[in-house]
Structure 1
C-alpha cells in the first residue's frame, strides 16, 4: 500500500486541518505523510487580497505541487478554493462542516457598536456587510494567518476584527470577548474542509471518498454554484449559506456593493431531488433583479478576469 502524501499550507490552522485528515485516513488503515508548503497568499501580506487579482491565491502553490507529483492529496479551507478546479484535479471529499458563522473579536468594550468604530477585516464580503449595518464605521484591511491577525488586533487601536468562528475554534484561539455575527451571511463553503486529489489517482480518490460527508457536500455544492454563476471569484462581496432544515434545503444568498450600500438578497428552499441546479437558479434571480449591473461594476473596479 502506498503512502499518501498530504499537501497543506504551513499555517497552524492549515496544519490542524491536514492532521485531522491524516488521522481519519490512518484510522482507516492508510499510511500518510504531511508536506507543508508556503503559499503566495501567506507570503504577500502588504496588499489586500483583491489587489493580488487572483482567486485561489492560497491554493495555487499546492495545486502546482500536486500537478508536479510532489504530493498526492491536498487539504484546503473550502472557502479559499476557486469554484473551478485546475485541469486534472478533482474534489475528493468534503468533511463534515463546522460552525459556519463569522464572529467579531473585540477588546471587552462594545460601546463602539452604538457610535463610531474601526473594524478590521481582509474580506470584501465582511466589509460590505459590516458597512451595510454600521455605515458610520471605518473598516481597515487585515491580512495574515489567524494567529498574526489576532496579534495585530491587540497591537492596533481598532475596536474589533472579524474572523470565521470555525478557524479560531479549531486551534483553540477563540477568546471570551466575541460576538457571533449570525446576521452576516458567511462565505460560500465557510467552515468546510475540502480534500482534492488527482483525477488519475484511483487509489487516493477511493481513500478520501470514505471521508466525505454527504450533507456538507450538497450544501457547499449549492453555495459554490451560486458563487460561480455570479462570477465573483473569491473577491466580490458575495455570501451564501445552504442548510438542511426538515426535509428541505434552505438557501440564503447575498451580493453587495463594496461600500455596502447596495444589497441584493434571496432566500429560497428546494428539495433534495432538485438541488443540482438550485444555486444557479438563485444566482440568476439576483442577476436579473439588478445584480448583473453591480457585478459588471465590481469586475471593473476589482479587475476580476
Structure 2
C-alpha cells in the first residue's frame, strides 16, 4: 500500500476537501479485521518490544479529529496490544486552572514518551490551535507581547513546528494522524451511540452542539495540516469513514516508522557475556 499518498510533509499547500473521507473499503471489513490486521499487530508488537528494550528512541503519536471519528477505537484495537511497560496514553482536555497559569505547551511535557516508549496523545497540543479559534476563549494573558488576533496563530504554528523539531532531534519520532470523517458519517455514528443503551455512556451532548461549527472546524483543520506538516513530524490524513481500513493504515504506518528506526535487542559484551555463561553453568549444575 502506498502510504505516501496519505502523508503530508508541508511541501505543498493542500485543500482538505480534496482528500477522501472514504475509499469504499467497508466491504473489506471482515478480511481486514480477521486476516490483515492481526499479523500487522504482531509485527508492531515485536518491533515495539525491541524499541522498548533498546531505549534509544521514542515515538509520539498524535490522534486528532472530531468526535466519533475513531481515535478511541484505534487505541483499543491497535495500541492496546503493545507492551504496557513501553506505552503511555494521555488525553489533553480542557486546560485546568494550574495549566492555564503556564505556557500552552507546558502541560505536554508529562505526556511525552521516554526513550523506549510509545506515547499516545488522544487529542493533543493541537487543541491549542483549534478550539480557541472556534470558540474565541483566549484571555489577554494568552497573547505574547506584540501579538494580536492576526498574528497569534501563525506564531503558535511556528512554535509547534520548532518544538516538534526539538523532540525529533532528541530521538522522539512524531507521527500525527488526522481522522478525516464526513459529516454524514459522524451523524450516523452519533445516532448509533444515542440509540444504543450500551453505548450512551460514550455520548456527550457537546458532540451534537459542536456540529454547528462543522465548516469552521474544516477550515481550522486545513490550516493546521498546512502549517504543521513537516518531514520530521508529518501528518497522515486518513479516510475515517472506513473504520477498519483506517485502523489498518494506522498499523501499517506505525510498522513502517519502526522499521526505519530499526531497533535492536541489546547484546551482552565483554565481562557481562562471560559472567552470563558462568551463571548459566551455575544453574545447570544445581
Query: Does the alignment reach a TM-score above 0.5?
Result: no
Per the normalisation by structure 1, the TM-score is 0.26
Per the normalisation by structure 2, the TM-score is 0.28
The structure with the greater share of residues assigned to strand is 1
With a CA cutoff of 8 Å and minimum separation of 6, indicate the structure with the bigger relative contact order.
Answer: 2
Bigger Rg, which one: 2
